[in-house]
Structure 1
Amino acid sequence: MTRDIVMAARPKARIVLIGTGGTIAGHGASSINTSAYDCSVLRIDDILADLPVAASIADIRTEQLFQFGSENFGNAQLLQLGKRISSLLKRDNVDGIVVTHGTDTIDETAYFLHLTLKSTKPVVVVGAMRPPSALSSDGPLNLYHAIVVAASQVAHSKGTLVVANDEIHTARDVVKTNTFKQDAFRSPYGPLGFIVEGKPIFYRLPARRHTTESEWSIDEIDEVPEVGIIYAHGGMNDAMVRAMLDSGVKAVIYAATGNGNVATSIVDSLVDARLRGIHVVRGSRTGGGVVIRNAAQPDDRYDWLVTDDQVPHKARILMMLALTGENCARKLQNAFLNY
C-alpha cells in the first residue's frame, strides 16, 4: 500500500519594490544607445510590467519614491529613503525590500542604508548600466536577481546588498569602477556571492559591523552634518581647501595621493581646520589599500583621522553618521576601524 505525501508549498516572499529612477528606468532613441539615453523615464510599475517572471518568486508591490538620476541624491533623499524602508521593514507583511537606483551613487546610498537600518530582513539595491531600451540591457536580469536575493532566506542578516552582473556585493565594499561597462561594480575583496540559475549562493560574510550591530538608527536621525571631499593633485595650492573650510563643513575627507600623502603646501590649511573644530580624515585617491595612521603624516600630533580602507566617498557617508553622535577624534577614528 502506498501513501501520497503532499508537501506544502512554501509561501512566496512579500517584497516591496521602491523606484527612484536611474538608468534602469531610462530609455534611448535607438536600441544601440547604451550610454546616451534619457534617464529616469520609466516608472517602477512600467519596469515591473516588463518582468512578469518576477511574480513567480515573490508577491511584489511597488512604490515610486523618487524619479531622477542618482547624481541628484543628497542628504535629504538619503534620510527620506532610509526612513521609508525602515517603516516598511517593521511590518509583518514585508519580507524584504528592493530599491531600483541610478548607478552613479548606488554605492553611497547602499552604504548609508547598511549602517542605519535596524533589521535582519534583506534590503537589495539594484541598478543598470544600460537602459531597458538597449540591446543586451542588464536591467531586467539585474532586477530579477535582486528580487530573488531579497526573497531568499539566505540573504537575511547580511546587511544591505547590491546586486549587479550576476554578483552579490556587500554595500560596505562595492564601488562603481567604470562609466559604461556592465561589470562596472567591484568589491576589493570580491563579491559575497553569485546568482546562478536564479539561485543566490553566498561564499563569505560581511566582517564589519552593520544594521542591527550598528550604533546608528535611521529612526533617530533627522539630519546629518555636512562633510566635504577634497581631491588631491599635483601642483595643488591651499585655496580650495580653505574655501571648503569656509563652506560650513564639520569634516573634510582629504582624498590624498598614495598612502594618504599630503603636500607641504596643504598641511597648514588642514592643521588650521582642526584649530577651527573641523575634522580632517586622510584617505587615498588610489581606490584601494589601507591608509595607515602616523605613517605619511603625524596624525596624532595634528589630531587627524585616517579612512582605513574606505574610498573617499564612502568615508564621507561614515563620517556624516559618526558625527551625529560623537565629536571625539579618538572615537571617530574607531568608527573607521569598526565599520
Structure 2
Amino acid sequence: MQNPERSIVILGTGGTIAGTAVEAGDTIGYRAAQLGVASLVRDVPGLAGQALETEQVAQLDSKDMDYGVWQALARRCAHHLARPEVGGLVITHGTDTLEETAYLLQRVLAPSKPVVLTAAMRPASALHPDGPQNLLDALRVANEPGARGVLAVLGGTVHPGAEVRKSHTYRLDAFCSGDAGPLAYVEAGQLRRLREWPQGEGLGLDLLEPEAADWPWVELVSSHAGADGRVVSALQALGVQGLVVLATGNGTVHERLEAALVRARAAGVKVWRSTRCAQGRVLAKPGDLLPDAGALTPFKARVEVLLQLLLEARRQHGA
C-alpha cells in the first residue's frame, strides 16, 4: 500500500544484494558491494513511479561491518526519520551481520516509523537473484500504515529487528525470528501480520557519539569440551571490557572457563552468558555465578553489552 504523501528513503550499505560474479551461475564466488543502491533500485521494475530517495551510506561486505559504519548509518537514519515527509526507511545490507545492525538500531532508535533492513543470499548477477523481490517486499512493509520499529524483510518474511537471526549458510530462507516466529508475511504484495510491531524506548543517538576507536572492547568466548580459562586471562590482560560466553545448553559453562570468567567479573569485566544452542533461551536458576542474556543470541548479547558499557561511560562522564 503506497502512501502518496510520503516518500521512502533507501540507504545502501553494500552486501551480497549489491554483489556481482564473473559467471552468472556463481552464487558463492562473487564479490559483495559492487553496485550502488541507486542502481539496485533502477533494476526493479516494480519500483517505478514510487516516491523514493536513495543514499549510499557505505559500500562493504557486511562481514567487515565496523563501528564507524554503525555510527554513520544510525545518524542518517535519525536524520531522515525526523523529516515529516519521509514515511519510512529501507536499508540494503549484507546478510552476515544484519542481525547485529538490526538489534543496535532498534535499541538505539526504537523508531516510530518503519526502518526495514533487507538483503540477499544471491548476488545481483545471479540467474535468479533474490534481492529485487526482497527490496520490493521491504518497500511494501515500509509503506504499511502504522508500521514502526526496526524490521528485517527477507524471503517474504518480516522479522523484528531485535529478534531476527541468520539460521542457514546458503539457502534463500536463511533467516528466522527464534521461538516467537515471524512478525508478518508479504504475500503477493499483501501484508499478513501475525503479531504487534516492535515497541519500546530508544537509548538515544547520542549514546553512539564517542569516536568508534573509543568504543568498549567486547569479545565472545565459547564453552566446550576441554575449555579452560587461559583465553579469558589473555583477553583480560589485553584490556577487554566485556565478555559474552557461548554457553552450552541452558547457559552451562565448563568449570575451568567459568572460574576464569568469575574472576574477570570480579575485576570489573562485564560478563554475560548466552547459549550456543540454535533455539531457546537461558533460564536463570538459583546458584548461577554469572548473569544470563535471556533470549538474546550471543551476537545480540554482545551488542547489548557494548551498549550497556557505553551507557555506563556516559553516566560517568555526566557525573
TM-score computed with the length of structure 1 as normaliser: 0.86
Aligned with residue 300 of structure 2, among 308, 311, 314: 314
User: 2:275, 2:282 within 8 Å by CA — same for their partners in 1?
Assistant: yes
Q: How does 1:7-156 map to 2 (within 5 A)?
A: 11-56=4-49, 58-155=50-147
Distance in 1, matches of 2:197 and 2:248, equals 28
Amino acid at match of 1:164: L
Q: How does 1:1-339 map to 2 (within 5 A)?
A: 11-56=4-49, 58-155=50-147, 157=148, 159-188=149-178, 189-205=180-196, 210=200, 213-214=201-202, 216-223=203-210, 224-294=215-285, 298-299=287-288, 302=289, 304-326=290-312
Distance in 2, matches of 1:10 and 1:35, equals 37
User: 2:12, 2:54 within 8 Å by CA — same for their partners in 1?
Assistant: yes
Larger radius of gyration: 1
Q: Secondary structure at the match of 1:20?
A: strand
Distance in 1, matches of 2:197 and 2:268, equals 33
**In the alignment, what sits opposite 1:332?**
none
Which segment is superposed worse, 103-112 or 258-267?
A: 258-267
Distance in 1, matches of 2:95 and 2:68, equals 18
User: 2:110, 2:150 within 8 Å by CA — same for their partners in 1?
Assistant: no
Q: CA offset at residue 229 of structure 1?
A: 0.9
Q: Percent identity?
A: 36
**In the alignment, what sits opposite 2:316?**
none
User: 2:4, 2:51 within 8 Å by CA — same for their partners in 1?
Assistant: no
**In the alignment, what sits opposite 1:334?**
none
User: 1:16, 1:98 within 8 Å by CA — same for their partners in 2?
Assistant: yes
Q: CA offset at residue 32 of structure 1?
A: 1.3
Q: CA offset at residue 220 of structure 1?
A: 4.0
User: 1:86, 1:219 within 8 Å by CA — same for their partners in 2?
Assistant: no
Distance in 1, matches of 2:138 and 2:238, equals 39
**Change in 2 beyond 3 A, CA 1:146/1:10:** closer
**Change in 2 beyond 3 A, CA 1:129/1:12:** farther
User: 2:90, 2:118 within 8 Å by CA — same for their partners in 1?
Assistant: yes
Distance in 1, matches of 2:37 and 2:3, equals 27
Distance in 2, matches of 1:146 and 1:319, equals 29
CA RMSD of aligned residues (A): 1.8
Q: CA offset at residue 294 of structure 1?
A: 3.4
TM-score computed with the length of structure 2 as normaliser: 0.91
Distance in 1, matches of 2:238 and 2:283, equals 28
Distance in 1, matches of 2:130 and 2:110, equals 31
Q: CA offset at residue 182 of structure 1?
A: 0.2
Distance in 2, matches of 1:196 and 1:132, equals 22
Q: Secondary structure at the match of 2:17?
A: helix
Runs of 4+ with >3 A deviation: none
Aligned length: 307
Q: CA offset at residue 139 of structure 1?
A: 0.4
Q: CA offset at residue 249 of structure 1?
A: 2.4
User: 1:288, 1:309 within 8 Å by CA — same for their partners in 2?
Assistant: no
